[in-house]
């Protein structure tokens, strides 16, 4: 089978690997402002098109003309990109949502399908962790994520009583020059460095006693503490590596993992802090949950399993 893939960034790497592991051929199509019509001759030779995005508009006229099945995997909050969602629903045969929001899912054309995990990309051998790694990444609490919403400043403010590390881009600070070198001075003393990936990302996950997460809020329903966004790429990566995850109780996560067995969830900042204290005092329990999480992800949530599900869904139509 030949699959035309519209994607970008790390997701493109994961999907390429997964498609090839399933024994299929990949034709990669760029999102970078180029018209898909440049690839029209390639698309006609493919068995189906798989797009992964959320804010990327498609060429609806072209997609409607193509006779092959079109699948769009929407990996952002639908309510923030309603125009794109309506567009892809009209032009595509199947629309997959990485968030579980019953108002947009009919299980006929639109389905809930969370992201997967690539054990070859985000992984490290615990036996090879060095003293330098331990000095760099060991902490009670770790948050790995971009500063993309003011809510996250409030969130990390509630972590100040713990030994906390923050890793990620765009956190508030100032850039200054000294002796011809540019330096970044963070305003938050918990911040340890810019975004980390691959093996370094996995080390940070394993060496933190607790990995906390707070998903992007639903701007349409600001009164809700837990947003409607479903489990993220990061959710799968932390659990797949075998780290202990304490996350906000997002929709869809209870369909995939059990609270207290594969992860822990919180419903407020006070609940989060209470559970941090509990799991710091019950370290063996947190380690056991992390081990369970990795087993569950490897058994059910690899990217290749998602590709197989998409193929089965298309065959059933």
Asked whether residue 141 falls in the same domain as residue 242, the answer is yes
CA 251, CA 158: separation in Å to the nearest integer?
23
Residue range of the domain that includes 67: 2-116+302-316
The pLDDT assigned to 71 comes to 95
pLDDT per position as a tens digit, 33-72: 555 555 666 777 899 999 998 666 677 777 777 889 999 9
Question: 121 in a domain, yes or no?
Answer: no
Give pTM, 2 decimals.
0.91
| Position 250 confidence tier, pLDDT thresholds 50, 70, 90 | confident
User: Is beta strand 70-74 parallel, antiparallel or unpaired with respect to 94-97?
Assistant: parallel
Domains identified in the chain, total number: 2
**Looking at residue 24, which CATH number applies to its domain?**
3.40.50.2300
Asked whether residue 99 falls in the same domain as residue 209, the answer is no
Asked whether residue 214 falls in the same domain as residue 240, the answer is yes
Asked whether residue 77 falls in the same domain as residue 133, the answer is no
Asked whether residue 306 falls in the same domain as residue 253, the answer is no
Q: For 174-194, what is the mean pLDDT? A: 88
From residue 153, alpha-carbon distances to 145, 160, 170 in Å are 12, 11, 12
Strand order through the sheet with 48-53: 25-29, 2-6, 48-53, 70-74, 94-97, 110-112
pLDDT per position as a tens digit, 85-128: 888 898 899 999 988 877 899 999 999 999 999 999 999 998 89
| Position 229 confidence tier, pLDDT thresholds 50, 70, 90 | low
Asked whether residue 75 falls in the same domain as residue 200, the answer is no
Q: Which of 46-50, 127-131, 204-208 has the highest mean pLDDT?
A: 204-208
Question: 11 in a domain, yes or no?
Answer: yes
Asked whether residue 93 falls in the same domain as residue 111, the answer is yes
């Amino acid at each position: 089978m030949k699959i035309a893939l519209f994607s970008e960034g790390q997701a493109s790497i994961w999907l390429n690997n997964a498609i090839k592991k399933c024994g299929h051929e990949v034709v990669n199509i760029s999102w970078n402002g180029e018209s898909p019509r440049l690839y029209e001759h390639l698309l006609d030779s493919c068995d189906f098109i798989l797009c992964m995005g959320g804010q990327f508009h498609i060429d609806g006229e072209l997609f409607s003309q193509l006779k092959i099945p079109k699948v769009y995997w929407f990996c952002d909050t639908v309510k923030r990109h309603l125009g794109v969602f309506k567009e892809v629903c009209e032009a595509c045969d199947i629309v997959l949502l990485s968030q579980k929001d019953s108002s947009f899912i009919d299980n006929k054309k639109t389905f809930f399908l969370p992201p997967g995990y690539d054990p070859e990309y985000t992984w490290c051998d615990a036996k090879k962790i060095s003293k330098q790694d331990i000095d760099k990444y060991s902490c009670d609490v770790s948050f790995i994520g971009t500063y993309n919403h003011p809510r996250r400043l409030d969130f990390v403010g509630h972590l100040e009583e713990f030994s906390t590390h923050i890793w990620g881009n765009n956190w508030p600070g100032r850039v200054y020059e000294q002796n011809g070198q540019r330096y970044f001075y963070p305003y938050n003393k918990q911040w340890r460095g810019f975004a980390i990936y691959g093996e370094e990302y996995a080390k940070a996950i394993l060496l933190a006693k607790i990995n906390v997460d707070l998903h992007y809020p639903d701007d349409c329903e600001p009164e809700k503490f837990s947003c409607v966004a479903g489990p993220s790429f990061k959710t799968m990566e932390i659990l797949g590596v075998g780290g202990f995850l304490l996350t906000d109780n997002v929709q869809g996560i209870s369909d995939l993992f059990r609270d207290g067995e594969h992860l822990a969830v919180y419903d407020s900042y006070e609940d989060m802090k209470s559970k941090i204290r509990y799991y710091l005092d019950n370290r063996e329990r947190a380690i056991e949950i992390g081990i369970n999480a990795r087993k569950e992800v490897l058994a059910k949530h690899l990217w290749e399993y998602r590709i197989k599900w998409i193929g089965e869904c298309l065959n059933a139509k």
